[in-house]
Structure 1
Amino acid sequence: MLSGCSEIPENNDPILGVWTKTETNSVSEKTTGTTITEEWTFNDVFLGRYEQFSGNTIVISRDFKWEVNNGVYKMYYPQDNNPIFLTMDLPELLTQNGETFAIKK
């Protein structure tokens, strides 16, 4: 019996880890403010998971693929046709078109 094993190259990209964005919906006449937290977890095999929380409840959870080319990160959700383009302005800040997209936890 023959078996083979290919070595997976080590990925030390600074995007690896958990990135968050938190917003509180403004209070309306009918509801109180709700905190919405979005989290993107980037792992070292160019995959990740997006989760959205309303308070402490998970509202959305879906996987994505990512890649980096010349400092520009592309995220691909299987359900969508268009990638999301991001850049890292600081080691702790992801931006999209100059606006804050997420902050590293």
Structure 2
Amino acid sequence: MTKKFLSLLAICAIVFLANCSRIEENNDPIIGLWSQSELIVTENSSKQTIRKEWIFNDVYLGRYQEMDGTTIVLKTDFNWSKQDDIYTVEYKGLDGKPNNVITIKATDEGSYLQKKDGATLAIRE
């Protein structure tokens, strides 16, 4: 009798734990790759492209990186959160980089991230 009871208890525990481990699906529109590119012309008329990328994932984390041409010059992780339609991006390990407070704006050409001051942070790729 004791073995049957323990077996039943073990099965119940497995079923209970299996049901608790389901992760809620996150389909937030910010998930994906957003970028900003800037062409810089130096004093000797050479051109260089600086590209910034934000990669948002579905567990409120992401990766930020800056590239000079094809060379990654800065890479860090970030946390993101959403309250109403306002997103906050908090960078890890970058003491001088302030948080971004942004919203998603849609146009006929596509979507972009807009900062509090109205400037464009990045466009969706």
Structure 1-normalised TM-score?
0.88
C-alpha separation in 2, matches of 1:85 and 1:36: 22
Structure 1: gaps of 5 or more residues: none
2:30 to 15, 21, 25: 15
> Which one has a larger percent helix, Structure 1 or Structure 2?
2
C-alpha separation in 2, matches of 1:89 and 1:65: 21
What is the aligned partner in structure 2 of residue 54 from structure 1?
A: 68
Structure 2: gaps of 5 or more residues: 1-9
Residue 85 (str. 1) matches residue 101 (str. 2): yes
Residue 65 (str. 1) matches residue 79 (str. 2): yes
Alignment deviations for residues 24-82 of structure 1 (CA, whole Å, 9 cap, x no partner): 112313x6111000000000000000011100111111000001111000001123485
Instruction: For residue 52 of structure 1, give the secondary structure of its aligned residue in structure 2.
Output: strand
The one-letter code sitting in structure 1 at the alignment partner of 2:99 is P
Q: Quick check: which has more Rg, 1 or 2?
A: 2
The sequence identity of aligned pairs, in percent, is 38
Instruction: For residue 26 of structure 2, give the secondary structure of its aligned residue in structure 1.
Output: coil
Count of aligned pairs: 104
C-alpha separation in 1, matches of 2:74 and 2:98: 19
